Amino acid sequence: MKRAGFTLVEVMVAVAAIGLAIVPALAARNQALAMAVEARNLSVVSRLAVQLLHRIEAGRVPDLFDGYSGDFTEEGFPQITYVLGIGDASNYTSGIGEDDAEQAWRRLAEETWRNREDAEDELENKPLKTRVFLSIQYEGGDGEPREYLVETLVPTWAVEQDFEMWEELWGGNLPEEIR
């Protein structure tokens, strides 16, 4: 007499084969989700960095100093924090531009700028741009802390909140009704 159906061994082999196929698929899914979260976080962080740098460039960050720090609570991201380094001698560069050759070049460029023969007054002795370092701390897709670093040049008048310098540099470009 023949029986129809599967034996216990056949069922166990089938379940094991399905298990072996599902485990890598679930691992790939989890990795894809972590990568998506990381991409979203990096996108948000980079946009927040650009927004902060634009505010600095517009002279809209009062009392700016080397080591200026905060978070993005007003933008809805209180868990994302930042530290700002100002100038080449900043203590808050987080490893940006610490190469000896680059530091030597920066010192030479600044010295050359300040010792120009055509510089007649204090305004002409000030560099037009100041280096700004922005270090943003956030949580990665895997829950580990991450750091996003940005280095840029910002107009010196905006960093120093020197609106007289701005007026001398750009005041002639304003329409009469704005002045």
Residue with more model confidence, 179 or 4: 4
pLDDT at 179: 46
pLDDT at 140: 84
pLDDT at 154: 87
Residues 6+ apart with CB under 8 A from 136: 45, 48, 49, 80, 81, 82, 147, 148, 149, 150
pLDDT at 148: 93
Q: Could you read off the pLDDT of 36-59 as tens digits, one per residue?
A: 989 999 999 999 999 999 999 888
Question: For 71-93, what is the mean pLDDT?
Answer: 88
Residues 6+ apart with CB under 8 A from 39: 141
Q: Could you read off the pLDDT of 92-136 as tens digits, one per residue?
A: 765 555 566 666 666 776 677 666 665 555 555 566 788 899 999
pLDDT at 138: 94
Mean pLDDT for all residues in the chain: 81
pLDDT band of residue 82 (cuts 50, 70, 90) is: very high
Residues 6+ apart with CB under 8 A from 101: none
